[in-house]
Structure 1
Amino acid sequence: MRQKELIDAGDFRGAIQMDVDDVRARFGNKYDEAITEMWMSPVRIRPFGNGPQIDRIPRCCRERSEIRVSSDWKVEIVECGDLVQDDDEVTPPDEAERRWNRYVELADSVTGDEGPAGVAAIVSSFKADEDYGAYQAAHAALDRFPRADLGQGVADAAKELLSIPKDGSGNVLLILAQAGPVAVSAFNEAMRSIDPGVRVSIRELVEFHESEEWLSEGSVQNVLLMPRT
């Protein structure tokens, strides 16, 4: 069962366990202490648009102000988002671990004040087919942006949205559709000034996700890029 189906069914612990399983498959028992601490801490579930959102407890419970962030964090998060996959026999394990850790660290540092460019950078970072739980931090980061910035930023990353894996684009569009009318209106308005060819491709991507899992529920269908002509 896919993670979204577990969340839709109300099995939030099962959804989190999928991320835990991914981390353990990648790093063995290295993070067992942090995982145990997570399970022992209360998990907050709060509304996000029309659906639930699970708050991931920040790694090591650090305050965002304590996290070292490069002045070029938008470039760095895109680079680190290209997470090393299990079948990669070239990249050293230490580099795979460094990239995963740094990606989560950067996502945790986002305050929501970074503007549409920050949203676009996060969207562009969803490059990997398997994220081993790292992208959950970035999804939570998107929730911290003002709704208008969220919609504008997703539109600004339209070309990148077309190139990332389908699960990545579907998740972004679901977050956007559930974020409410301000975010949706900002996205729809910004898309009007996008290159016509890209706009057509985004419309086709939205329609694809409406026919598949991510935007298949009635509450998020026929929300984005309306009216469609």
Structure 2
Amino acid sequence: MQCHECGRWFRALASHLARAHELSTQEYRQRHGLPRTQPLTSAASQRLRREIGVWRRDNDPTVMAALDGHAARAQRAAGFPDTPRRQVSADRVSVSKRRSARERLDAAIADAGFADLAEAARWAQELGLGWSGLGAALGDFGHTWLAEVAAERGVTLAALRTAGVLHSRRYLAAARDYRRQWGSLDVPTAWTTDDGVRLGRWLVVRRHIARAGRQSWVMDSLDDIDPQWRTYGRINTS
């Protein structure tokens, strides 16, 4: 979701509004003429929270203890009534949605200039990205679902956490050197340092991930190097 105060993108706005703009959600809605029922959390985050809530209901000892009792146990055990016709319809919708999602993924891969998912995974591996980074670069695809599709197609992408941290620090050092030399992080996409750091392409991916609302210590470090780094360029994998 985009913040109307600063124009940046986030999965949820409540904490950002309080921290960056000292606004409550009610004050924010009033200032920008938003209805009281307007959600300030992205649809993906809402789905994730619901999934976490269901998991905690059935697996978290604290929650289960709070819900312990005959009525609560009966409610958890009882499934929703369904008819065979409705079940067949639901199965058809599920198959249709899966097919549509895979078609959208294949279209995004082609639009990004890759021949297939395997080539996209090799590109992500080269930049030290995991499924999460590749999913964001292709258009906000969930990393768990993307990894499942890749497994079905025999595609692997191993990005070790420790190696990823070292990789990011190397690129951040190159970014600091570039800023000192040229005054900003408006780096050409094809820019590569003398020791082989493909800084331009790495920044393109980081900008796209940031615009999708993701935040990390790498983003914070880039903010310190050049507060305007998010505003430069557009994603380009060619």
Give the TM-score normalised by the residue count of structure 1: 0.27
Q: State the structure with more CA Rg.
A: 2
Normalization by structure 2: what TM-score?
Answer: 0.27
